[in-house]
Structure 1
């Protein structure tokens, strides 16, 4: 189960909060790295705490024998699956530059550590509900037979892996200095064009899987 978790963590590592915002910050002239490191620490802690809450809920559900096969639960799963698939398939293609423009405006000046920490919390709150790979990963971790300490350790590793690409970019920026600005800016522009479309694809795939699984167990 570890390899699927690594794959899901790397998908989560490409979200707006974990990669786009750090990219835009690092592409600025002479960015101060301490505020960004504080940002990454807060968003990592935020997802770890959210994961703990989700694991607690999953444990309660798993302990309720037979709940996954209950008719109301299966109907709820079917409805959620159809809704996710419809959103992913039929949503209008998002403006690829809108998200980048919004965050660029917020990052167009030096921000102190407390402001960057607040920005991390805000970014996490905005996107946590759409982090489908993270929700899937907590489901996998919650069903692993490793005990509570083991689950918390795996969850912590997952959350750290989510910010590894951003930390690699921090190291490259520190090493290369101004020479990295143009490349980081081009990468940020490309990434902002892909992020929202990728989310819709993930939503469609997860929705189809959830809906098909519920349909089979309800009617076949």
Structure 2
């Protein structure tokens, strides 16, 4: 079983022979569970844990926890743990306290520049010191520009502050790098996919 967030034909870094091999198999688009499925999962999980949840609680969880099955099951586990720990009854208030942190919008999470640089290095298979330093190979230069672009997009750092992350480069150099990536995104679909992939890897660190 091979899983991914896109079909094989859209995996630009995958060799053609592997793309066709994967397309030869059964490709299934798996979507997040709908409301009825979420309700069934919650009820089943609660029954297996030996507890009957009020209908209002079931609806509250099903309406608010929508990302994936693991998150739904984790929510039920948290509710049970809170009940056992505090001896409180399972009502809407208990559920709200148990899962409040799970409602946090991913857009509120701001990655650090170190995490962004690390993920860019992993993607391009480049050493951190080379990316931050003076390496001038084509791949290193492009990776550095991608890192600067993503730091600008995903953090509140100024151009000057971004420059400090790369051996105190001048803010005009940072600006030039960001502008180059923005231009490449319009003319080079592969760069757009690279940005998408690295951004997804960064966000996955905070899930």
Larger Rg: 2
- Tell which has more relative contact order, 1 or 2 (C-alpha 8 A, sep 6+): 1
Instruction: Give the helix-richer structure, 1 or 2.
Output: 1
**TM-score, structure 2 normalization:** 0.22
Q: TM-score, normalised by structure 1?
A: 0.22
